[in-house]
Structure 1
Amino acid sequence: MTGTHRTPITCCLAVLAGALVAAAALTGCTTAVSVHTPAATAKVSTASWPTGRLYHTGRTDLELVMPSGAHSLHVDFSCTSGLYEVAPAIGSMDSRSGSCGGAQAFDFDLGTTAAGSHVRVDFVVPDDTRFAADLRFSPNTFRPDPATKKECAALSTLVQTFWNADQAHDHGDLTDAGWAQKTASAKGALTALSESTQHDGTTGGLLGTVIPPLASWLTGDGYHPGGMLHAPLGDFTAADSLAGQICSANGTPMVISSSYGG
């Protein structure tokens, strides 16, 4: 999963690592996430707005000029195999990433993008992967699911603590005792977060289903130096990858500031 904005895949080191290892463990799996709905705004005629359609093999990009009255960009996407990333290259817009399989639908915020701007979208897939994409501007304002946004922010802070403690230990800057002291409060907070998502299923949402296996490892058998950074493939690495995809799809990607390397 990076002190930069997470574009897991421009994304964080921890999330990118999680996505790659989980893909190896869960070949053929995919996550279709729909945790938010763009809010309706005043009616605007979209008949003359530019659209984009692609049926392509390997990485490519497509550029559209943003029309007046647009507030978000909607992308329908599907690919045959491997990992993908759909990344608008403008301003602070984030990317969406995951494993191919099934149809995905993404909404990107254009709230700070001026009409007339050239919006380029990069589609990153393996060289032999074929994908289809449909791009359309929308007058609707993109609004992330607030509960998921809050959980993603909390999880980012906790994962960052374990990530940096493992890195410090690997570099010889923390002893075993120092590592335990550094992660003690994060361990307790992660346990509490896991319990709250299980007790309150109405607000836990999709992310609430993967936080318990994350917590189970990081507060149990994986609670030791290297447990986050060098975790074996399994439930934890899969949950780690899925958490990154869920937060990214909500438009609130996990942000990890690494003390070693950015």
Structure 2
Amino acid sequence: MSGVDLNSDLGEGFGRWSLGDDDRMLAVVSSANVACGFHAGDPATIRRTVRAAVAHGVAIGAHVGYRDLAGFGRRAMDVPGDELRADVLYQLGALCGIAAAEGGRVAYVKPHGALYHAAAKDERVARDVAVAVGDLDPGLTMLGQPGTAALAVAADVGLRVATEAFADRAYAPDGTLLPRSAPGAVLRDPDEVARRVLRLATEGVVEAVDGSLVPVAADSVCVHGDTPGAAAMAERVREVLDAAGVPVRPFVGGAHGGAAGGAPGGAPGAADDGAATAG
């Protein structure tokens, strides 16, 4: 990989309550997954986050989720298809409007929490999300884990897709993420995380919990904004990448737009071959 995108979940405060250090993260990452108001984020918080992303030249993504403020969007929900499509469209439309008002544009979509995991496994949920996205803007890119229903269905309905890996999460030998409930599932050592991201960016592999090396296709690498010490961890990752001469840049067009999709360094977008090669 000739370059790497760093993405983070941002704008996840609500009213007087704040989460993470968005200002520090936006100085480091190249893509921002902005909460759209259902799992976190209120209109003023969303607008501040988008304005800062535009100022930093960071690509803007819609972090859509279930309507679950109390559970931070991490509780499994059974939402009927027509309602889920409307919910996704509502969130995406709101973020697109705010981004336009701030001189930016939404370039991609990344479901949040329980919706991310449901779309990864459930083709009906994946199709509801993808159809809603395509109904608003078929030029948007869907970001998700390789080998999932979310990306296969998104590609099937004509969306571009891009794959992501996780900087601060442990991997099982089969390439899946270790469940958050498992010991050691969330990595907290900035140096260890930085070394893993550098290896992923330069060799395309991550070390699994059993010590084996697992190939992971990644157009983007996520550093969770709500992980304790996330900003310092992201800064360390960026320092190591910069020192190694690995460019950090959005996997899609920057905050003001550009061609959606396509991997860093001009490689073909995952929509061209991701469904066949993922997993």
Normalized against structure 1, the TM-score is what?
0.29
Normalized against structure 2, the TM-score is what?
0.28
Structure holding more helix per residue? 2
Structure holding more strand per residue? 1
Structure of greater Rg = 1
